[in-house]
Amino acid sequence: MNETRQDILLRLDAIRKDFGIPGSANHRRVLANLSLTVNRGETIAVTGPSGSGKTTLLNLIAALDQPDDGLIEFDGRNLNSLTAYELDSYRNQSIGQVFQLHHLLPQCTLIENVLIPTLARPNKPKRTFYRDRAESLVRRMGLWDMRNQFPAQLSGGECQRTAVARALINDPAIIMCDEPTGNLDKKNSLIVFDIFRQLAEEHHQTLLVVTHDEDFAKKTHRIIEMEDGRIIRQ
């Protein structure tokens, strides 16, 4: 099926990213002339050896870093043209991120951790909406009985499912995950992926997952393979 402009959520064109000082011994090209188009509602696995540029790619899409050359468009907007305030809103509302280490705040309960991304949207009439949404997500993750527990009281799988709920709380257009099942056993890995897939399909969200898990990757719509900062298969 031919993609249309309306189908495209994310477009990267001729992206280059270097680290270190050019000409010095520590200079390294991490991404080289990388181009990629991602459609709405797609589930994509990004694979490749360590050091191939996968995490750097996610960081650029999330506007946590900037490319040295090339264009990144999200929903038709050039990220380089956005103000600092607009970039903050983009990261908070359009992107949901899940990391290999869940990065939950230890002093907050499970449900408080899920609600943290909503604190940047201080709209009092919306507080009940977000609370209801958090409770719905926590129930969906099978975590309701643990909602008032702290991260130290949860298993690794429960912490990661909490991180998934947190990533989804603002209903982002794209969910990006960096090795989300790397510290989980097979059972919890399957639970996390099935939750991702079901929610992405229901809400027509895009899922972009960096993974070394071949079984996980095979269940996505498309596999993008990276090597030496380039896409060698997509």
pTM, whole model, 2 decimals? 0.86
Name beta bridge partners: 176: 97, 208
Asked whether the beta carbons of 70 and 16 are under 8 A apart, the reply is yes
Q: What is the 3-state secondary structure (H, E, C) of 140-202?
A: HCCCHHHCCCCHHHCCHHHHHHHHHHHHHCCCCCEEEEECCCCCCCHHHHHHHHHHHHHHHHH
Q: Report the percent of the chain where pLDDT is more than 90.
A: 61
> Residues 122-155: pLDDT tens digits?
666 678 889 999 999 999 888 999 999 999 999 9
Q: What pLDDT does residue 1 have?
A: 45
> Residues 60-118: pLDDT tens digits?
999 999 999 999 999 999 999 999 999 999 999 999 988 877 889 999 999 999 999 99
Range of weakest confidence among 20-24, 129-133, 191-195, 221-225: 191-195
Round to whole Å and give the CA distance between 234 and 232. 7
| The two structure tokens encoding residue 163 | 């991180």
Strands of 77-78's sheet in order across: 28-39, 8-19, 69-74, 77-78
Asked whether the beta carbons of 44 and 208 are under 8 A apart, the reply is yes
- For the chain, the domains span 41-63+85-233
Which of 211, 230, 223, 225 lies closest to 31 in space, CA to CA? 230
Q: Which CATH architecture has domain 41-63+85-233?
A: 3-Layer(aba) Sandwich (3.40)
